[in-house]
Chains A and B, each alone.
Chain A
């Protein structure tokens, strides 16, 4: 595989995981909640596409957005009792929801998986010189760039964005200064649901078989990326998600084929080293007080 090809593939997975990471970080920012059930929003989207097979594309896309964002809002309601809970309780509650939803999908759809049949022609490649790039790779990178740009505009230039950033920086002070907590939290869940739906559409083309753990397998690396990048802030967390996706593809190519089965070991060993050296996150800058003993 040529070097440029490798960079393009790595960027595509990085962009996708960056979107997932941002969805996780948005909610964490306002609620201090690491949502393990976030992956299930992606799975909900995938099954929505399965159930709307045969509809016009526009309606299927619309249905995916509506259902995923509604599910995200429903999660917000479920997690309301947790607003003052400890980190361990929150973690286990979101995990329990994830466990419940995965088993619900298993119960309804069975373990074999359902074909999604969504825009499959986008998997065809175009050839530029000796590069073979699939259309969906280009779309994934473009969509990632557009959505990240949109989010940074929303958070940086608008009033609601300012409120969200204030809430992420210091929730109590933000409330005292008149930021409406309930509304900001709800908005965070809407936006993270929106991102999950966008991720679903790209994934549905790349991985056309919906299974009960469809979203969970994407969530885990993104979550690791979020913590490695820096959980408390949006940009570092998003960069962390990008980094983990990028590193997975590059490492997979660098390792000799005999030891490629140990990719996860190498990747997670790097994660541990990064956490030890920069426990506050890789992209957070020198913030001073590290949470380390």
Chain B
């Protein structure tokens, strides 16, 4: 029980995600497609959160790692017999390569991480808006190169015929893995050191924390997860262009994170599920759906308008996000202010021992984290 409670900030969101994924199984086939897309978007937002949430540095650039991962996995997994004709300028190594599903996901994660590490070495010296614009520049350059250098990218064409393997199981497992990695990282010593620099960079530095190194770790990990998310995305869509992993995706995923609450895993998951879910629902509603005996058909264009209004209203009136940037709290505490251990449980039963100790234990783990 204590272990469950300790891991609740990960277990709770995981249960929610699983419930959403399982619930999606009972929906019509076209809607299942939307549910998978929501799950993959959530993977991207959690990957973004690993860097932005823990470091407090705004980055528009994480989507470049998604893009690189998507095209690494997509180009490597597309059938080798059609690649030389569709992409005549592709370097022979990539054109002849044809690898399986799991291998391509691993490749995507590796390429995303490597790219993030190389880019991060100089960029992680920057803070504030300079960092934001520099990562924005990385995104522009990544897109520009993938779009125009046809030896390594698809160019302006659509990369298609990628095996569609991101179904219910792969989308859900992928998301659960990424969430677990994000949570283990943020509660590890590396994550806590980075969070200290977020709260007060000067104080953290004077306590001996190397801000540059901690940020670089998180940036690289976020690149690995982002690349992996790109791999999942390309295997979900089956075909992709460079414009699908560019500015729009960068802005919308950042907005999802802020709407949910930038500083917590729970916020990332809630924001992504809510906005991406709303997006999917409205897309379906534009095509016409029936809820009970009620027919709903929205005029075209209402989807993006509604999304814009919801994002603006949440950010303006709940600036810390829907979750207040807090982790999910254990729901079964008897009162808001936890009591010392109950008499039936012998004092000193916990390894730390002593009444004072158990009082501290009684406090919600997420509360001590803040």
CB distance from B203 to the nearest CB of A (A): 13
Q: Does residue B350 face the partner (Cβ distance < 8 Å to A)?
A: no
Task: Give CA–CA (A269, B145) in the complex, Å.
Answer: 12
B130: CB under 8 A from chain A? yes
A86 CB within 8 Å of chain B: yes
With the chains together, A96 CA to B310 CA distance in Å? 9
Contacts of A227 in B (CB 8 A): 129-130, 132-133
Query: Is the CB–CB distance between A100 and B258 below 8 Å?
Result: no
Contact check, A99 vs B125: say whether CB atoms are below 8 A apart. no
Residues of B close to A101: CB separation below 8 A: 308
Cα–Cα, bound, A161→B206 (Å): 40
Q: How far is it, in angstroms, between the C-alpha of A106 and the C-alpha of B304 when the chains are bound?
A: 10
B191-216 contacts to A, CB under 8 A, are: 201, 205, 211-212, 215
Say yes or no: A97 contacts B312, CB within 8 Å: yes
Binds B, one of A60-68, A124-132, A258-266: A258-266
When chains A and B are docked, how far (Å) is the Cα of A231 from the Cα of B134?
A: 14
Mark interface residues in B296-338 (1 if CB within 8 Å of A CB, else 0). Answer: 0000011011011101100111011000000000000000000
Q: Are A293 and B205 within 8 A (Cβ)?
A: yes
> In the complex, are the beta carbons of A265 and B141 less than 8 A apart?
yes
Q: Are A96 and B211 also in contact (CB < 8 A) when A88-B58, A291-B127, A292-B125 are? A: no
Task: Let me know if B66 is at the binding interface, CB within 8 A.
Answer: no
Does the CB pair B319–A89 fall under 8 Å?
Answer: yes
Q: Mark A261-275, 1 if CB is under 8 A from B, else 0.
A: 110110011011001
Residue pair B137, A272 in contact (C-beta under 8 Å) = yes
When the two chains form their complex, are residues B305 and A95 in contact, meaning their CB atoms are under 8 A apart?
no
- B58 — which chain A residues lie within 8 A by C-beta? 87-88, 91
A271 engages B137 (CB within 8 Å): yes
Complex contact A268–B125 (CB within 8 A): no
- The answer on a CB contact under 8 Å between A103 and B140 is no
Task: Say whether A291 contacts B130, CB under 8 Å.
Answer: yes
Q: How far is the CA of A60 from the CA of B124 in the complex (A)?
A: 49
The answer for the CA separation of A265 and B147 in the assembled complex, in Å, is 11
Question: Closest chain A residue to B300 by CB distance?
Answer: A107
Q: Does B276 contact A (CB under 8 A)?
A: no
A103 touching B144 in the complex, CB below 8 Å, given contacts A87-B129, A96-B312, A292-B126: no
Does A208 interact with chain B (Cβ within 8 Å)? no
* Complexed CA–CA distance, A265 and B144 (Å): 6
Contact B144 A100 (CB under 8 A): no
Judge if B136 is at the interface, Cβ distance under 8 Å: yes
Whether A140 sits at the interface, judged by CB under 8 Å, is no
Give the CA-CA distance A44 to B326 in the complex, in Å: 39
Contact at A100–B309, with CB atoms within 8 Å? yes
The CA of A228 and the CA of B136, in the complex, are separated in Å by: 12
A279 lies within 8 A of chain B by Cβ: yes
User: Which applies to chain B's interface (DSSP): helix, strand, loop or mixed?
Assistant: helix
Say if the beta carbon of A78 comes within 8 Å of chain B. Answer: yes
Scoring A residues 196 to 234 as 1 if CB is less than 8 Å from chain B, else 0, what string do you get?
A: 000000000000000000000000000110011001000
From A224, A261, A265, A280, contact of B133 by CB (8 A): A224
Determine the chain B residues whose CB is within 8 A of the CB of A154 once the complex forms: none
A231-B129 contact, Cβ under 8 Å, with A88-B58, A95-B255, A271-B134? yes
A101 to B138, CA, bound (A): 26
Complex contact B137–A93 (CB within 8 A): no
Q: Are A279 and B312 CB-contacts (below 8 A) given A264-B144, A293-B212?
A: no
Name the residue of chain B whose CB is nearest to the CB of A223.
B133
**Is B123 an interface position by the 8 A CB rule?**
yes
Residue B179 at the A interface, CB < 8 A? no
Contact B262 A88 (CB under 8 A): yes
Is A262 a contact of B309 with CB atoms below 8 Å? no
Could you tell me if B137 and A103 are in contact, using CB atoms closer than 8 angstroms? no
- Report A96 CB to chain B, min CB distance, Å: 4
A residues near B130, Cβ cutoff 8 Å:
227, 275, 279-280, 291-292
A275 to chain B, nearest CB (A): 5
Are the C-beta atoms of A92 and B137 separated by less than 8 Å? no
Pick 9 A–B contacts, CB within 8 A, sort by A: A85-B319, A92-B255, A92-B311, A95-B254, A100-B308, A103-B301, A265-B141, A265-B145, A271-B137
**10 closest residue pairs by CB, A with B:** A100-B308, A268-B137, A103-B304, A96-B311, A293-B211, A107-B301, A92-B258, A96-B312, A227-B133, A93-B315
B residues in contact (CB < 8 Å) with A: 52, 56, 58, 122-130, 132-134, 136-138, 140-141, 144-145, 148-149, 201, 205, 211-212, 215, 251-252, 254-255, 258-259, 262, 301-302, 304-305, 307-309, 311-312, 315-317, 319-320
**Residues of A participating in the B interface, judged by any CB pair closer than 8 Å:** 34, 78, 81-82, 85-89, 91-93, 95-97, 99-101, 103-104, 106-107, 223-224, 227-228, 231, 261-262, 264-265, 268-269, 271-272, 275-276, 279-280, 291-293
